[in-house]
Amino acid sequence: MLGFLYRRLLYMIPTVFLISVVTFAIIQLPPGDYLDTLAAELNDSGGLDEGTMQALRDQYGLGQPMYVQYIKWMSQIVLHGDFGISFEKNVPVNDLIWDRLAWTFGISLMTLLFIWMTALPIGIYSAVRKYSFGDYVATFFGFVGLAVPNFLLALVMMYLAFKYFGQSVGGLVSPQYLEQPWTWDKFIDLLAHIWMPIVVVGTSGAAALIRIMRANLLDELYRPYVVTARAKGMSEFQLLLKYPVRVALNPFISTIGWILPTLVSGEIIVAVVMNLPTTGPLLLRALLVQDMYLAGSLILLVSILTVFGTLISDLLLAWIDPRIRYQ
C-alpha cells in the first residue's frame, strides 16, 4: 500500500500539470479575451478606444503568446501561491476564492453525508425487501430524484418555504444577519437555511446511489458465502452487515472521486437560483467574461480535488475490501 501511495503521489504531479495546460488552453479557445468582452459590454457607452485597449492589454499581459501567459500564471502559483489578478474585479484571485471555497467545501461535505445517510439504509431496505410496497415507493422517489432538475426542485422548495413557513429564501442567512458578526442567533439562522441547498444538491446523488446499492446488494445476497453463513446459524442482521453490505459498499467509496468535485462545481445553476456564496456563480461569471486567471484557478482547484478524491477512494477501497490489492 505504501508503494502504491508513493507511486500515485508521483503520478499526480504530471497529471495536475496536464490538467492545468488543458484548462488554460480551453479558457483561451473562445475568440478574443477579457478586454474584447469588456469593450462589447461598454459598446453602448462608447466602448474603449484603441490606446486604452493596448495599455490594458500590456498591463494584464494579454498581448503575449498563450504559452508565455501560462508559464507566468503557473510559476506564480508554484513559487508564491499567487493565482493572479481577477481582470473584472481587479483584485487578487486569492482574495476571491478562499472564502467561497470554504463555504462550498463545507456544504459539499454535509451534502455527501446526507447522500450516504439517505442512500445506504434505503438501498439496503429495497434490496432486502425487494418488490415490497416500500421498495416500490423508494424506486419511485429514486426515479423522481434522477429525473427532476435540481434547479427546479430548488425553486419549488423555496416557494413552499416562503409560502407556508414564512422563511426567507435565498442565501445562507437572513438579510438582517448578512453584515453581522457570528453569534449564536446567526448560527441558528444558518442551520435554518443550509438544509435546503443540502437536500436540493444531494437529491440526485442519493437517488443514484440508492439504485446502485440495491442492485449490488441483490447480487450479493444469494452468493454461496451468504448461504453458508446463514446455514451456520448466523443472525440475519449480523450476516447482512458483516458480508454482503460490506461488499456492496464499494460503489459508495469509489464515488468519492467524482462526487466531491461534482458537488463543489457541478451545481452552478442551483447556486445562482438560491443565491449561495459558493464558487459556482463566481466560476460562471468568470467564464462569461473570459476572466482567465479566476476561471482557470477555480477549474484547477476542482481538478486537483478530483485527483485527491480518486486517491482517497482507492485507498479506502483497499481498506474496506480485502480482495483488492495494489501491486
pLDDT at 210: 86
44 pLDDT more than 60: no
The 10s digit of each residue's pLDDT in 50-87 is 666 666 666 666 667 778 888 888 888 888 888 877 77
Least confident of 89-93, 166-170, 291-295: 166-170
Task: For residues 178 and 215, give the distance between their C-alpha atoms in angstroms, rounded to a whole number.
Answer: 45
Rg from Cα positions in the chain: 24
Average pLDDT over residues 15-19: 87
Q: Please give the distance of CA 253 from its chain centroid, rounded to a whole number.
A: 16
43 pLDDT more than 70: no
The 10s digit of each residue's pLDDT in 295-315 is 888 888 877 877 887 888 888
Question: Is 134 or 166 the better-scoring residue by pLDDT?
Answer: 134
pLDDT at 228: 87
Question: Is 204 or 13 the better-scoring residue by pLDDT?
Answer: 13
Angle 146-282-269 from CA coordinates, rounded to 5°: 20
Least confident of 88-102, 108-122, 255-269, 280-294: 255-269
CB neighbours of residue 282 within 10 Å: 24
Q: What percent of the chain has pLDDT over 90?
A: 0
Average pLDDT over residues 266-272: 75
CB 157 within 8 Å of CB 170: no
Q: Which residues of 240-274 are buried (b: 16+ CB within 10 A; e: fewer)?
A: beebbbebbbbbbbbbbbebbbbbbbbbbbbbbbb
Average pLDDT over residues 147-174: 83
pLDDT at 216: 85
Q: Is the dihedral of CA 192, 259, 98, 65 positive or negative?
A: negative
The 10s digit of each residue's pLDDT in 218-247 is 888 888 888 888 888 888 888 888 888 888
126 pLDDT more than 80: yes
Name residue, grid cell 498581448: 63
Three-class SS of residue 92? strand
- What one-letter code names the amino acid at 159? Y
Average pLDDT over residues 206-214: 84
Model pTM? 0.78
CA neighbours within 13 Å on the CB side: how many for 317?
19
Q: 26-31 — which CB contacts under 8 Å span 24+ positions?
A: 27/287, 27/290, 27/292, 27/295, 27/296, 27/299, 28/66, 28/292, 30/290
Task: For residues 75 and 200, give the distance between their C-alpha atoms in angstroms, rounded to a whole number.
Answer: 39
Average pLDDT over residues 135-144: 83
Task: For residues 320 and 12, give the distance between their C-alpha atoms in angstroms, rounded to a whole number.
Answer: 23
102 pLDDT more than 70: yes
Q: What percent of the chain has pLDDT over 70?
A: 84
